Amino acid sequence: MPTPSAAVLHDLHRRMVRIRHFEENCGRLSEAGKLPGFLHLYVGEEAVAAGVCATLSDQDKITSTHRGHGHLIAKGGDFKRAYAELFGRSTGYCGGKGGSMHICDMELGMLGANGIVGAGVPIAAGAGFAADYTADGTVAVAFFGDGASNIGAFHEGINMAAALHLPVVFVCENNEFGEYTPRDKTMAIIDIASRAEGYGMPGVIVDGMDAVAVYEVATEAVARARRGDGPSMIEAKTYRYYDHHGVVGLRVKYREESEVEAWKARDAIEHLEANMAKAGIQSLEESQAVQDEIAAEIAEAIAYAEASPMPEPETLADGLYTARAEPPLPELPRGDRKLSYVQAASETVGQLMRADDTVFLAGEDVGGYGGAFRNFAGLYDEFGENRVVDTPISEQAIIGLGIGAAVSGLKPIVDIMFMDFIAVAMDQIMNQAAKLKYMFGGNAVLQMTITTFGGAGLSGAAQHSQSLESFLCHIPGLKVVSPSSAYDMKGLLAACVREPNPTILVGNKMLLGVSDMVPEDLYEIPLGVADIKRAGTDVTLVSYGRMLHECLGAAEVLAAEGIECEVIDPRTLQPFDTETVVTSVRKTNRAIVVHEAVRFGGFGAEIAAQIQEEAFDHLDAPVGRIGAPFSPVPFSPVLEAIYLPNRSTIAEEIRGILGQPAARGAA
């Protein structure tokens, strides 16, 4: 490869100096007590970020690490906005919502620093998927440390990129320490790049203290990705001069001073300056002038940040959700056409994909098989493998694929077969999908839908039968729906996919074959609006999913005894329609919440609390709660039958709250 031009060398030098001055000043400000929160300095590793980012355009995407302002500055980040963010000011990149570990610049394609080790790897795969999907010629780069190569998300993400042949470059900044533990104590290999071969991609090792060498290997890897030849990995052997975390003056004794000094003797900036001077490209005096110029910019930026206002208290929740710009589709009458629960799901996804070519479907077995429950049957035949994507069995990577694609402008529907497997992907759901927009100060759109099926009844036992909706409803940034009929499935699924925020649709496995009258045209059921499935005057029953049908069955039984139940289906669990429920309770004066999840700590407890807070003076009895016992779901059909609430147990609870005698033969 020919020696880089003088223009490239000037560019590499300026990028590294910008990072060094920014970071050194961050350390001094932190040491002076002026910067809140955690600080991870990038000093010493500048050649890696500069060498890679010099090969990228503003449209190319990067994901970063907790040491991410080095990557931001290398990508062309603004000093003033960056310092303002680290000071927690409203003029910062994220309005003070993200800070050091979550700083981003979406306009520069910098998809955020990330406080979770390795989490950016599957997101970069998603950004690469979007680049491949739109054929826009861009690439994605994932920066990560040597410690991240031991994280499951790393392996899932690079395998996903390799399996789908995506334009992604994985850059390992191997500084030989995962926090304070040396690399040789955490892995049995010397070269992390050797792992690339196992995933079917090339891996190259480069001196991470040589910006020119990094630029050369990055140029080749990025060109390979742009050509459509797939992903590759670069391992840059580098070193951080300061501790994993902390300020300039703070040292933890975990490495010898002589080791640090030996790496400093190879300093990338000093060596490039010396080589440029020797080659007559830029004298040492000219290099010093660049240093002085950037130092002046830094001083101005710090003054700007310190003078900037703090966020106003009323902006606390700003940026959590994106307001919907387009009007919702109108809800339609049911008509006279019958579809099953899963047929409604498949039809809806097909109609959404026909209407909008940025909508795609990805997940395990969603292609030729049509999904584990045939809820996507027929879609692969119509749309092909580019829009109905069979993925590896990699739940973290599936969600990461959706996140990266969504922040890149697509509208993914990603499927997690069983709700139990949500737990496997919880970091990508909870710490990434739900929080990125907020941490980025609202400067991102994550229009993505996660579909899954929960619930017991098929003898799936403890790991394929859980109802975990309360976990999801507790996470700000997500919206969660639970359709109980084919009609609701279609309307809620359409609303989720058209909603400009991360949504999760939780289906129920025992409703797969339940049929209902469903309009053929596309329509929406507004999120956050409950439905009164049966009117009544004596007690309010609140339930969703399969248990709604058990409540309706109990209401039928009790109607013959003169007890009229009002049955409410929330349909959307987050945001929850408290008003409809409270209005009903003020009429009936009694309430029972029913779900098949474990009763203790279940979502019913939150509904009961809302009722207590809003309608306490109207209650003639405590709010009742019915759910499963505090036990995993059993395998035996006999045990599973008694584990789940049913119409008989619900009816008995209602009689008790009304002070009625038990019905003869009631369970």
**Residue 666 resides in a domain:** no
> Omega into 629 within 30° of 0, i.e. cis?
no
**Domain CATH code at residue 600:** 3.40.50.920
Give me the pLDDT at residue 282, please: 96
Whether residue 430 sits in one domain with residue 539: no
d(CA 156, CA 244): 26
Burial class (CB in 10 A: 0-12, 13-18, 19+), 541: buried
650 with 554: CB under 8 angstroms?
yes
Counting the structural domains of the chain, the total is 3
Whether residue 239 sits in one domain with residue 207: yes
Whether residue 451 sits in one domain with residue 412: yes
Whether residue 274 sits in one domain with residue 140: yes
d(CA 634, CA 130): 42
**Residue 486 resides in a domain:** yes
Whether residue 470 sits in one domain with residue 603: no
Classify strands 411-418 and 449-454 as parallel, antiparallel or unpaired: parallel
Whether residue 352 sits in one domain with residue 264: no
Whether residue 342 sits in one domain with residue 231: no
- For residue 243, the cross-strand partners are none
Closest CA to 471 of 408, 520, 436, 420: 420
User: Hey, what are 386's tokens?
Assistant: 């580019």
Last residue of a domain, one of 517, 549, 582: 517
Last residue of a domain, one of 491, 517, 543: 517
Instruction: Supply the DSSP symbol for 397.
Output: H
Give me the pLDDT at residue 438, please: 93
d(CA 529, CA 569): 9
User: Hey, what are 297's tokens?
Assistant: 């910019």
Element (H, E) at 237: strand 232-237
Domain that holds residue 402: 338-517
Q: What is the pTM of this model?
A: 0.94
Could you give the C-alpha distances from 594 to 193, 519, 551, 567, 603, in angstroms and in order? 53, 29, 8, 10, 9
**Residue 411 resides in a domain:** yes
Whether residue 290 sits in one domain with residue 229: yes
Whether residue 562 sits in one domain with residue 462: no
Give 10-residue mean pLDDT values along the chain (667 residues). 86 98 93 89 95 97 93 96 95 93 93 90 97 97 92 94 98 85 80 94 97 98 97 96 68 76 94 96 97 97 97 93 92 94 97 98 94 94 96 96 97 96 95 94 94 94 93 97 98 98 97 95 98 98 97 97 97 98 97 97 97 96 95 93 94 88 44
**Residue 319 resides in a domain:** no
Whether residue 266 sits in one domain with residue 378: no
What residues are annotated to the active site? Answer: 464
**Residue 527 resides in a domain:** no
**Residue 267 resides in a domain:** yes
465 with 546: CB under 8 angstroms?
no
d(CA 482, CA 572): 6
**Residue 322 resides in a domain:** no
Taking the mean position of all CA atoms in its chain, how far away is CA 647? 38
**Residue 572 resides in a domain:** yes
**Domain CATH code at residue 243:** 3.40.50.970
Whether residue 242 sits in one domain with residue 175: yes
Could you give the C-alpha distances from 571 to 33, 70, 101, 495, in angstroms and in order? 49, 45, 36, 12
Whether residue 626 sits in one domain with residue 512: no
Last residue of a domain, one of 482, 517, 552: 517
User: Residues, the chain, total?
Assistant: 667
